[in-house]
Amino acid sequence: MYNQTVARLTYKALLGRRRALILFALPLLLLIVAGTVRATTGMDDEVTRELLGGFAMATMVPLIGVVAGTGAIGPEIDDGSVVYLLAKPLRRSSIIFTKLLVAIAVTVVFSAVPTLLAGYLLNGNSQQIAVAYAVAAAVASVAYSALFLLLGTVSRHAVVIGLVYALIWEALFGSMVSGARELSVQQWALSLAQKVAGSGAGITSDVGLTTGLTLLLVATVGGTWYASRRLRTLTLAGEE
């Protein structure tokens, strides 16, 4: 299923474009803020939770997910270069599967790993808060990658739609409107963080663990399946 060449092309496309700057900028920002907080206020579980929950999980992970997920296929479809992948005796599902793995790897490296580092920096993983958020970021990375990869195959405006979702739904709306919170990758992933950290840490989710994990799985598998389907019937529109 995994195709080395597709993966290489996708990595280069993701990390070689100007958009990739945001991949470096956000984690860097998180680490700088974490370092500053630690230096000025010392270790504080409350602050750690706020920074990792409020910024890393709510903003950084979805944004990195948008950049990696849509960037793994969207630009290729936009500029037509995807033809060179499609005009090969290669299964469409293997193209999608490979691109999904690349998007997941990039999202985990640029969001879950910095989350873990920032957590250790902030409170030395007291009450498992750093690990809990990092695990949540990692599973969220998987679901975001699948969903945004699908978005990249569906719409030319994938980045914009993805950003709207990430910034408005996940970061703003999700923290205010309770109905929206149950339909949020962030909340699903937090159900796992809550479990990992234990009750004293104060990490909460709006959905139970079983529901959260089930929805993550459904979103990932469903998104990947539908993206393969889209690619199989992708038509080449002439210039309009």
Ligand X SMILES: Nc1ncnc2c1ncn2[C@@H]1O[C@H](COP(=O)(O)OP(=O)(O)OP(=O)(O)O)[C@@H](O)[C@H]1O
According to the binding rule CB under 6 A, does residue 89 interact with ligand X? no
According to the binding rule CB under 8 A, does residue 12 interact with other proteins? yes
The residue within the footprint of other proteins, chosen from 18, 39, 40, 87 (CB under 8 A), is: 87
According to the binding rule CB under 8 A, does residue 221 interact with other proteins? no
The residue within the footprint of other proteins, chosen from 33, 47, 90, 161 (CB under 8 A), is: 90
The residue within the footprint of other proteins, chosen from 3, 145, 187, 205 (CB under 8 A), is: 3
Q: Could you say which DSSP state residue 238 is in?
A: -
Spell out the SS3 assignment of 109-163.
HHHHHHHHHHHHHHHCCHHHHHHHHHHHHHHHHHHHHHHHHHHHHHCCCHHHHHH
According to the binding rule CB under 8 A, does residue 235 interact with other proteins? yes
What DSSP letter does each residue of 67-124 carry, written as one string?
HHHHHTTHHHHHHSTTHHHHSSS--HHHHHHHHHHHHHHHHIIIIIHHHHHHHHHHHT
According to the binding rule CB under 6 A, does residue 237 interact with ligand X? yes
The residue within the footprint of other proteins, chosen from 2, 5, 32, 208 (CB under 8 A), is: 5
According to the binding rule CB under 8 A, does residue 96 interact with other proteins? no
From the CB of 87, what's the least distance to other proteins, in Å? 5
According to the binding rule CB under 6 A, does residue 233 interact with ligand X? no
From the CB of 231, what's the least distance to other proteins, in Å? 11
> Shortest CA distance to 171 belongs to which of 216, 140, 215?
140
Rounded to the nearest angstrom, the gap between the alpha carbon of residue 177 and the centroid of all alpha carbons in its chain is 22
Phi/psi class of residue 239: alpha, beta or left (left: φ > 0; alpha: ψ in -120 to 50)? beta
Q: Could you say which DSSP state residue 183 is in?
A: T
Per CB under 8 A, residues contacting other proteins are 3-6, 8-9, 12-13, 16-17, 76, 78-81, 83-92, 232-236, 238-239
Interface ranges with ligand X (CB under 6 A):
237-238, 240
